[in-house]
Every structure is written in structure tokens, then in C-alpha cells.
Amino acid sequence: MHELAVTESILSISEKYAKENGALKVTSINLVIGRLSSIVDESVQFYWDIISKESLCYQAILNFERRSAVLHCNVCDHEYEIDTSLQPCPACGSPNIKVISGEEFFVDSIEIEKADE
């Protein structure tokens, strides 16, 4: 369970960009998390509610965009998604595969409120 460290990191990245852009308040944070990254959304949300108090991000909504894990078979070029456990190519059975996506783990954007110019 490293969700606390993850949540702290999300907060510090969001605060940095919020300040750089003169935000009065951060209203939402858009995260992209691949299926192969082991993070429990509920735990992040739980920590978030506690640690974001007294920051520009207080009460900001965390949006989790989950990217599926997509594998590419190097033998028959078949592309397939895995949901739970890693599997060899369902088309030809080869374990010779490449991970195309599913390892994403980043803050994509934040939505902020600014004073009118």
C-alpha cells in the first residue's frame, strides 16, 4: 500500500501547476492510471480528503481514467486486452508479446478557477 506516497505526489504536482497558473482554487484533477499500475482508487480518495485540506486543491474532484492493458503478439501481430491476469496470445498461444499500454501513471491535467483578468 503506497497510496499515501502516491496521493502526496498527486497533491504536490497539482499545487505546483496551480500556483504557476495563478489558480484561486483547483476544482478537479484528471489522472491516467494503467491497469498494470497497482493503485486502489478508493484509498487515494481517502487520503486525498485528509491531506488536501488547507491547500488549493481542497475539495477538488479526482477523476481516474483507467487505461486497459493492451498486449501485442510479436508472432502473429494480434492485439489483445487483459483484464485480470497476464495471458499468452489468445490467437496463437505465443508468450512472445509486447506491452502496448497499461503502465500509465500520470497527472494528465488539472482544472482551476482564476480571477477574471
**18-53-5 Cα angle (round to 5):** 80
Site string for other proteins, 8-37 (x = CB under 8 A): -xx-xxx--xx--x-xx--x---x----xx
By CB under 8 A, residue 76 contacts other proteins = no
Q: How many beta carbons lie within 10 A of that of residue 101, not counting itself?
A: 15
Task: Name residue 62's beta-bridge partners.
Answer: 29
Q: Which is nearer to other proteins, 2 or 53 (CB)?
A: 2
Specify the residue, 49 or 103, whose C-beta has the smaller distance to other proteins: 103
CA distance 14 to 35: 22
Nearer to other proteins, 27 or 59 (CB): 27
Q: Are 108 and 32 in contact (CB under 8 A)?
A: yes
Give me the least distance between CB of 28 and other proteins, in Å please.
9
Single residue of 61, 72, 99, 101 touching other proteins by CB under 8 A: 99
Q: What does the DSSP 8-state code read for residue 22?
A: T
Strands 97-101 and 69-73: antiparallel
How far the first Cα of the chain sits from its last, in Å, is 43
Residue 112 near other proteins by CB under 8 A: yes
Residues of the shown chain interacting with other proteins in the complex, contacts defined by CB under 8 A? 1-2, 5-6, 9-10, 12-14, 17-18, 21, 23-24, 27, 31, 36-38, 71, 85-86, 88, 95-97, 99, 103, 105-117
